[in-house]
Amino acid sequence: MLMGGLATDYCVKATTLDARGAGLDVVVREDAVRAVNLEPGDAQRALKEMAGRGVPLASVERMLA
């Protein structure tokens, strides 16, 4: 499953981690997500948490390379 959407630090993170927990393969497109960032750095913390749980992070640039 290729994941994109709003908001990285809430909906995207929750959906991605739920999908991983259900055994689905998920890849987050960093260039297709945006964060709310109520606190500075929320987006980066969310991406780091998802990556730490085995979710690959990708972008169109890296996918085409």
State the Cα angle at 35 between 43 and 61, rounded to 5°.
Answer: 80
DSSP for residue 42: H
Q: What pLDDT sits at residue 64?
A: 82
The 27-34 sheet, strands edge to edge: 2-6, 27-34, 57-58
Predicted local confidence at residue 53, as pLDDT: 96
Nearest alpha carbon to residue 46 among 12, 22, 19, 20: 12
- Report pLDDT for 35: 97
Domain ranges of the chain: 2-55
Q: What tens-digit pLDDT sequence spans the chain (65 residues)?
A: 899 999 999 999 999 999 999 999 999 999 999 999 999 999 999 999 999 999 999 998 877 87
Does the model's pTM come out above 0.75?
A: yes
Tell me what pLDDT residue 36 has. 96
The confidence score (pLDDT) of residue 65 equals 77
